[in-house]
Amino acid sequence: MADSQPSVAGESRRDADGAAPSPGGSRLVRAVFVVLGTLFVVLGIIGIVVPVLPTTPFLLLAAACFARGSQRCYEWLLANPASGPLIREWQQHRAIAWRTKIYAIALMSATLAASIVFFVEPVWLKALLAATGVALALWLARVPSRDRPRAPRRPQ
């Protein structure tokens, strides 16, 4: 089995079957990873109802923490019908479902627009929110989607 040290950009190494690394390290380190994973799951759940919080990155972080802290929690997260497919798609293909991306960009745009127009007064803060929203939307749009609908070819 591959060692559980993070590789480039904090990605976990995997064995030939694509399995996550088994938990290792001291009990304290594993406990910290379980606590962090639980925190990220809670933030992800809150992100379902609060559009400003992105659900997907928090669930991916939770999976990474659970993979290092608790195999049982990691398997529970992967078995969950709401989070499992999303996490597996990211782990296997480094992709996010097309509908998920569109939904996330639309909700983020609407929430940031409402915040900028109705709630934030300083112009510099409005500009910062707008720039952050554009940067996040561009990043998310650039993440591959294997299920992206293709435009039909025109007959020649």
Taking only the tens place, the pLDDT of each residue in 98-133 is: 988 888 888 888 888 998 999 999 999 999 999 988
Q: What are phi and psi of 12, to 5 degrees?
A: -85, 145
Taking only the tens place, the pLDDT of each residue in 50-105 is: 766 778 888 999 999 999 999 999 999 999 998 999 899 989 999 988 988 888 88
Taking only the tens place, the pLDDT of each residue in 128-156 is: 999 988 998 898 899 998 887 777 777 77
Q: Which residues of 71-87 are buried (b: 16+ CB within 10 A; e: fewer)?
A: eebbeebbeeeebbebb
Per-residue pLDDT, 2: 40
